[in-house]
Amino acid sequence: MQSKNSIQGLGVYQPGKPIEEVKREHGFEKTIKLASNENPFGSSRYVWEAIEKAKFDLALYPEGDAPLLKEKVAEQVEVDPRRLIFGNGSDEVIRLLTRAYLEAGEEAVMAEHTFPRYETNVRIDGGVPVKVPLLDGKHDLQGMLAAITEKTKLVFLCNPDNPTGTIFHEAELQAFLDEVPPQVLIILDEAYVEYVDDPDYPDSISLLDYNPQIVILRTFSKIYGLAALRVGYGIAHPDVIQELQKVRDPFNVGRLSQIAAIAAIEDQTFVNYCRIQNRMGLKVIKEKLTDLGLRYLEPHGNFILFDTGRPSEEGFQALLKQGIIVRPGNLLGFPNHLRVSVGTREENEEFLKVLTNWIQVSE
């Protein structure tokens, strides 16, 4: 049976190669996964304790609108709770946006190299993705502005961008917002916001009151270390949230996921520790890449994209043979690049040792 036309030719999302699969294929007892921008330090002990207490409630449906989590997040990010909606990862909030706002044939503007779920969900809902090339590895906001037409309903801005790790600054964003037509929703995907330490990074929350067409996306999958539990959220004008609620599936965020996210927020000491360790790890990796003569895009998340000067699949396989899983750039639109997540100190050292050996042997 033929599926609908809008998904013909649409590829299947390819996540980072799972540890279990690599162990089965290669017979490794131990592997290092640096492919999916996960938190190498896991999650807060508060999370484990909260889940243990909730083990007797597994037979019960969760509260659909996550009211306790909503209250906690509202307090943390300092917004009215009416501005919040939760999803099974921020991926689901993206799906709610395309489901609620895109009619067949309407357009969504996005960077050419960015998180692929934007294009996927736009196409599933019959929309037309309009891709704008990056400029020096960064979002070309003026180019994206020029791509907006009467058919444009959504613009996706990933900041920091995935897979490049680059950011745009507040002044750039403000200039962009000043020119965007009011009927266009601007989705600011800030999955890695907690890792950013650039003083010119946009304070998107402060822009909400003056720009009712902004939707901010954030997640518990990265610095909070809850990727397995899938909790993400959107921050927007209450009218937008109400429209998204209409197309949200009931019980979309599980009971344990809500409980874990509440506990995770309460341990900001753990969050700060992860942020500092990530900053130190990036410093070590950047210094070694420079020593090896490898160019990279300046990273602002918990990963780095760098040019090996060779087909990325070669580097991916060379590292994989030593039990190190990274993300080959050919899957991301960068055929000679590798994207590597920051690991623990020991993981970073092992990765850099194997990378150095491969570069030296292949020269």
For residue range 280-296, what is the model confidence (pLDDT) as tens digits? 999 999 999 999 999 99
**Residue 215 backbone class (left: φ over 0; alpha: ψ -120 to 50; beta: rest):** beta
CA separation, residue 353 to residues 289, 332, 349 (Å):
11, 24, 6
Q: 189-208 pLDDT, tens per residue?
A: 999 999 999 999 999 999 99
Burial class (CB in 10 A: 0-12, 13-18, 19+), 59: exposed
Longest dimension (CA), the chain: 59
Residues with pLDDT less than 70, the chain:
1-29, 363
Q: What is the DSSP letter of 91?
A: H
Amino acid letter, 126: G
- Which pLDDT value is given to residue 31? 87
Which CATH code is given to the segment(s) 16-43+269-362?
Answer: 3.90.1150.10
The rounded distance, in Å, linking the Cα atoms of 338 and 312 is 6
User: 219 with 192: CB under 8 angstroms?
Assistant: no
Give me the residue spans of the domains in the chain: 16-43+269-362, 45-266
- Which pLDDT value is given to residue 22? 59
- Which pLDDT value is given to residue 162? 97
The rounded distance, in Å, linking the Cα atoms of 46 and 261 is 10
| Sign of the four-CA dihedral 331, 98, 262, 81 | positive
Amino acid letter, 142: Q
Q: Are strands 232-236 and 185-189 parallel, antiparallel or unpaired?
A: unpaired
- Which pLDDT value is given to residue 6? 66
Q: What is the DSSP letter of 312?
A: H
Quick one: which H or E segment has residue 130? strand 128-132
- Which pLDDT value is given to residue 24? 59
Q: pTM of the entire structure?
A: 0.93
- Which pLDDT value is given to residue 284? 98
User: 326 with 319: CB under 8 angstroms?
Assistant: yes
Angle value at C-alpha 263, between 279 and 167, nearest 5 degrees: 35
φ and ψ of 353, to 5 deg: -65, -45
φ and ψ of 29, to 5 deg: -85, -30
- Which pLDDT value is given to residue 65? 92
Those residues whose C-beta lies under 8 Å from the C-beta of residue 136, and which sit 6 or more positions away, are none
Instruction: Tell whether domain 45-266 is in CATH 3.40.640.10.
Output: yes
The rounded distance, in Å, linking the Cα atoms of 250 and 191 is 24
User: 52 with 247: CB under 8 angstroms?
Assistant: no
Written as six digits, the tokens of 95 are: 């799906």
Amino acid letter, 166: T
